[in-house]
Structure 1
């Protein structure tokens, strides 16, 4: 499998839907995943932080992967986030993901424990070595308190041919240039923070692991296409409209916020799993103000063709 086969385009970090009694809503999940692909997305990342994976049991994780693989078939790859409290559990999840039919892995540092490169590297290597599936390293020091430098990522890329991509969520777009200077085009570069999409594409990113796409899939694909084909100027109008929502992806309650957007646009429910609670009070009112403004001001650019047919 070539690295370009699964790591390019808009790939939703899909949210995990819950029923009224707190169980995973598998029927909605299957339909929602297909809706994303219908809109032009190229794959699905499951079991990420937006998917509330830290609150899911191991069996729930496997059930979610089975649902997605069955729902999408050959339409698009399912790429689970591989994260756990222990290395042994992460390795087990990686093995099970391949057996279920997932076509790539997003490899994260362990939950809770963060330390030096010797230990974090050993964790990543254990996961990568247990499979021949294509792997994407996920660097998110803000959320996981572990920062994989470009040189450290390059070390893994040189050691393992199946390390094919990096999701960069440090918030520093200079990391893309640093990775390119060390590795050339050895790795696919993917934007991992919604409000850095246009900047990341300008620095060479070829993919976007997106959050607000769960509520606005067609708009997200359009924005990515405009940024790739025409640069910042072509994307400016749509980006300006989208940014107040995209910024919801980079704050501590991003799960509650993105799910609230989903509910308000008819793309899901705001139900979350404790310890998260749905938003209320002034916090909710402020979020709704931004959401309702976006709904009322959807730009005409979404009706324009990407390129002039003449």
Structure 2
């Protein structure tokens, strides 16, 4: 299906059974819940999530599950995060065969590639793909940047259509638009900068806490697009303590705990991750409990 490249795209969590195998049934429930809440796309096996604990075939299975659930209602993007270019190309081919609509790609990890190496990696993936691509820019996490000059070179290939901007510098939205106009669609990839990025001209939001609070996330975006800024801001201010749980090394555990407490998921993670414990868990529980206690009544959209 064609992709509009705007709106809320959840980076969905991967579900596991008690034995740490994939829980396909639970993922179908989770993906359906997101789509029913009005999200505009699904992104599987996010790179800061649990993709690193999955073998290639499992990543393909998760993507295939999302495609089956979507049934063309929303586009499905598969995240390409591998340690080398050859395996990235292999995944792209298998994910396309599984029916995905596009890809979100980032530099190979954990190696810190220079600009020439990063561009070569991206171009090799694009050459193997027939679907459009979102470029994930996150120098904070991966220590590899994709600057404006690199984006200018990638702009020569029409497969590169969107950017997930996660540099933690909202000013880059303006700089990218000033340089490229509407050549790239820009998505904010930092939960607690999302509304700020939308005000600066971003087209969408690759979201994390949407996994636990899909209706609130969608409401913020739709209210903003409708020009109902005060209403969007009110919900966003309520949401901020939760959104800040996404900006953490343990974002997966935080989000899955929020899912469980919101009644739409569970806490199971695949080792080496473990569920939160002790004071760390107590602190996150208090944040989520307060949010649930003060959860806003959403306006009609």
Please point out which of 287, 302, 305 is paired with 2:300. 305
Q: CA deviation at 1:46?
A: 0.2
C-alpha distance after superposition, 1:241-297 (max 9, x if no partner):
100000111111111101110011111111111111111111111100000000000
2:89 aligned partner: 91
Q: CA deviation at 1:139?
A: 0.3
Q: TM-score, normalised by structure 2?
A: 0.97
Q: CA deviation at 1:231?
A: 6.1
1:31 aligned partner: 29
Write out aligned runs for 1:1-310 (5 A).
Answer: 5-157=3-155, 159-230=156-227, 232-300=229-297, 302=298, 304-306=299-301
Q: CA deviation at 1:299?
A: 1.6
Asked if the contact 1:13/1:50 (under 8 Å) is kept, the reply is no
Q: How many residues align?
A: 301
Aligned residue for 1:230, secondary structure, equals: coil
Flag the 1:232–1:154 CA change in 2: closer, same or farther, 3 A. Answer: farther
C-alpha distance after superposition, 1:75-125 (max 9, x if no partner):
111100011011000011111111111001101111100121011111111
Residue segments in structure 2 that go unaligned for 5+ positions in a row: none
Q: CA deviation at 1:154?
A: 2.4
Instruction: Give me the CA root mean square deviation.
Output: 1.3
C-alpha distance after superposition, 1:210-253 (max 9, x if no partner):
00010011111001112222265332210111000001111111
Q: In 1, distance between residues paired with 2:90 and 2:4?
A: 23
Aligned residue for 1:93, secondary structure, equals: helix
Q: In 2, distance between residues paired with 1:37 and 1:236?
A: 23
C-alpha distance after superposition, 1:10-35 (max 9, x if no partner):
11100001101111100110121111
Asked if the contact 1:191/1:197 (under 8 Å) is kept, the reply is yes
Runs of 4+ aligned residues of structure 1 deviating over 2 Å after TM superposition are 227-234
Flag the 1:305–1:231 CA change in 2: closer, same or farther, 3 A. Answer: closer
Residue segments in structure 1 that go unaligned for 5+ positions in a row: none
Asked if the contact 2:107/2:113 (under 8 Å) is kept, the reply is no
Q: In 2, distance between residues paired with 1:175 and 1:82?
A: 23
Aligned residue for 1:70, secondary structure, equals: helix
